[in-house]
Amino acid sequence: MGMSSRLQSAFFLSVLSAFLHYSHAGFAASQEVCARPEAGSAVSEPADLQSKNGVLEVALTIRNAKAGGSIRYCYLDAHGNEAPTLRVKPGDQVIIHLKNELVNLEEAKPPSHASHHHADAKSSDPCDSGVMSAISTNLHFHGLTIPPACHQDDVLHTSIQPNDPPFTYRFRIPDDEPPGLYWYHPHIHGFSRLEVSGGASGALIVEGTERADKAVAGLTERVIVIRDQDLINPNAPPSQAEPVVPQYMVDNDGDTVNTGTGSGKPAKDLSINFVPVPYPDYPPAVIAMKPGEKQLWRVLNATSLTYLNLAILLDKVPQQIGLVALDGVPMNTNGGPADFVYSATRVGIPPGSRAEFIVTAPPQGSSALLVTRTVDTGPGGENDPNRSLAIIKSAQNAPEPRMRLSAAPVPLPPSKETWLGNVTPVKVRKLYFSEKLDDPNNPASASEFYITEDGQTPRAFDPHQKLPNIVVKQGTVEDWIIENRTNELHAFHIHQLHFLLLSLNGRSVDEPYLRDTINVDYATGRQPAYPSVRLRMDFRDPNIVGTFLYHCHLLEHEDKGMMGSIQVVPADSPK
């Protein structure tokens, strides 16, 4: 390899970049902005951007375009890769230069309760511009325990406009950040649904899952991002072939109770790594694996309002999958042995949430189906029917995924923190989801959406409000009871931290692992009490001092006000 002169390497780089350019042209088929693959295509892996020598420095551009009746949004890296996966290790420095190249598209009307400031107002500091529009943007790093500060993970005040120079994010992955799947997406109040359902999202992986769970050591891994989008065939009648999943598989256990229909027109189409799986026939995307091969699948629900309930069917029989992490956290953090696998035949993933699990490929010559089973979102919720996502084809010559976990990992050191379940809470709060019809006499009229601490007056979240809704002290732990007083499912999420589920609808549960997003069942009016979850909230990490948000992760609800702010004050502050 001693032959390379500066000239030769320059030549090599130009050939390489031409090659990369061509391979992207193959994907894009043209200069189309935010190009997307055809239905029924192979599921390709997002590009990987890996940290080197403790630093990951990337340039991202956000763009948008009209396509058919809807609007696409996308992140592109310097090579034109769409929605690259950011791969980091604990302790790494992350530097992201985000350029806003969004353009005004007429359909992008602000929702009724959005901020009324205009993007053409006098340009100002992106850290405190107050301008939030369909062409403003910012980044939230969902799940990371990093400071809620401008240039790190603030979305309350940070808003970048199209004429601004590239905006630099610069933060450090904490040394004790659990290894697993996190993600990045825009979080502009009033426009989150528009940008995220348009496709603005990507995975962020803190590497080292195999250090927390030896069961995945040496496996190849696959990143799967499931997004939703406006229906491609909104006027089509339901397929004669429905239901995709047999009726007998409609279940009554788990996070939700099903109505038992499982069919009909969904609220949104789904896509898997951007391959659309449109209503009404749901032509599956294609995943090739070697017969019997085991892979770690890291699955992100990046939809704006679609609940996932994934299963893998072989001859219509649900297969065992091996769950190892939820919401970016290995499921064995309760001080137990570091090689735990939860065997399941389905996994519910609310919007915003992630699940990481071991999948075994079907035997030679057969194929399996990755499906999402129906989720009953309540009489007020959207229809999430049974539908296929991808066919898993077994073939000896299937290409291997690019990434492989270390076969001989150094185990992670045990956590220095007391397990959250063993810490006494300093306070118990009750919060509740509620809605109000704009016209109380018209059940079809628009709703206002609220999340309120019990005793306060329900109000749609106002990003310009002066005071936080809740103040807590760093170093403490609290129990929060989140009630749902509406007739639809909501998904509670809080930035900057994880929590422990203690009880569900008043009954204790034994979950020795953490989450950052959780469903709260809808009220039927027939239960003795409102459905609820009791969560142990962890405010101990000094990184989270500052003001940040909690909200429903159905982005339509969040955009319309189902959000509150929380200030974590330093441990030594008075009161």
Q: Write the single-letter amino acid at 90.
A: P
**Shortest approach of Cu ion to residue 218 CB, angstroms?**
40
In whole angstroms, the minimum distance from the beta carbon of 98 to Cu ion comes to 28
Least distance to Cu ion from the beta carbon of 430, Å? 18
Best CA proximity match to 548, nearest among 171, 183, 155: 155
In angstroms, give the least distance from the CB of 490 to Cu ion. 3
Q: What is the DSSP string of 369-418?
A: EEEE--B---TTS--B--EEEEEEEE-TTPPPPSEE--SSPPPPPPPSSP
Instruction: Please state the closest distance from residue 267 (CB atom) to Cu ion, in A.
Output: 13
346 or 490: CB nearest Cu ion: 490
Cα of first residue to Cα of last residue in the chain, in angstroms, is: 65
Phi/psi region, residue 481 (left: phi>0; alpha: psi -120 to 50; beta: rest), is beta
**Which of 127, 501 has the CB closer to Cu ion?**
501
- Nearer of residues 123 and 524 to Cu ion, judged by Cβ: 524
Q: Which one among 88, 389, 403, 554 touches Cu ion, defined by CB under 5 A?
A: 554
The angle formed by the CA atoms of residues 250, 256 and 260, to the nearest 5 degrees, is 30
- Of the two residues 329 and 554, which places its CB atom closer to Cu ion in the complex? 554
Distance between CA atoms of residues 195 and 169, nearest Å: 19
Q: Could you tell me the smallest distance in angstroms from the CB atom of residue 448 to Cu ion?
A: 12
Q: Which is nearer to Cu ion, 338 or 520 (CB)?
A: 520
Q: Give the contacts of 467 (CB within 8 A, at least 6 positions apart).
A: none
- Of 285 and 489, the one with the shorter C-beta distance to Cu ion is 489
Task: Determine, following the binding rule CB under 5 A, whether residue 552 of this chain makes contact with Cu ion.
Answer: yes
Nearest residue (CB) to Cu ion, 388 versus 447: 447
Instruction: Show the site string, 395-434: x = touches Cu ion by CB under 5 A, - = not.
Output: ----------------------------------------
Q: Of 73 and 433, which CB lies nearer to Cu ion in the complex structure?
A: 433
CA distances from 174 to 145, 185, 206, 275, 494 (A): 7, 20, 10, 34, 18
Rounded distance between C-alpha atoms, residue 349 and residue 518, angstroms = 9
Q: CB–CB of 453/470 below 8 Å?
A: yes
137-156 positions binding Cu ion, by CB under 5 A: none
Task: Tell me whether residue 355 or residue 552 sits nearer to Cu ion (CB atom).
Answer: 552
> Which is it for strands 220-229 and 403-404: parallel, antiparallel or unpaired?
antiparallel
- Which stretch in 60-68, 71-79, 259-267, 486-494 sits in contact with Cu ion by CB under 5 A? 486-494
Tell me which residues in 195-214 interact with Cu ion (CB under 5 A). none
Which of residues 63, 185, 222, 490 is near Cu ion by CB under 5 A? Answer: 490
Residue 349 Cβ, how far from Cu ion at the closest point, in Å? 15
Q: Is 557 in the site for Cu ion (CB under 5 A)?
A: yes
- Binding segment (CB under 5 A) for Cu ion, from list 97-105, 371-379, 524-532, 546-554: 546-554
C-alpha gyration radius of the chain: 23
Give me the least distance between CB of 338 and Cu ion, in Å please: 35
Q: In angstroms, what is the minimal distance from the CB of 384 to Cu ion? A: 13
Count the residues of the shown chain that bind Cu ion, applying the rule CB under 5 A.
4
Q: How far is CA 240 from CA 125, 243, 258, 274, 281, in A?
A: 55, 8, 22, 26, 9
- Give the nearer residue to Cu ion in terms of CB position, either 393 or 557: 557
Which part of the chain contacts Cu ion (CB under 5 A), choosing from 40-48, 107-115, 357-365, 556-564? 556-564
- Which one of the spans 65-73, 203-211, 233-241, 555-563 is the region binding Cu ion (CB under 5 A)? 555-563
Say whether residue 347 binds Cu ion (CB under 5 A): no
Please tell me whether the peptide bond between 243 and the residue prior to it is cis, using omega within 30 degrees of 0: yes
Length of the chain as a residue count: 575
CB of 449 to Cu ion, least distance (A): 6
Q: Which residues contact 570 (CB under 8 A, 6 or more apart)?
A: 473, 474, 542, 545
Cβ distance to Cu ion smaller for residue 207 or 559 = 559
State the binding string over 70-109 for Cu ion (x if CB under 5 A, else -). Answer: ----------------------------------------
**Residue closer to Cu ion (CB basis): 63 or 490:** 490
At closest approach, how far in Å is the CB of 460 from Cu ion? Answer: 13
How far apart (Å, rounded) are the C-alpha atoms in residues 62 and 126?
16
Separation of alpha carbons 66 and 63, rounded Å: 11
Identify which of 63, 24, 234 has the alpha carbon closest to the alpha carbon of residue 162: 63
Pairwise CA distance, residues 413 & 176, whole Å: 9
Q: Which residues form the interface with Cu ion (CB under 5 A)?
A: 490, 552, 554, 557
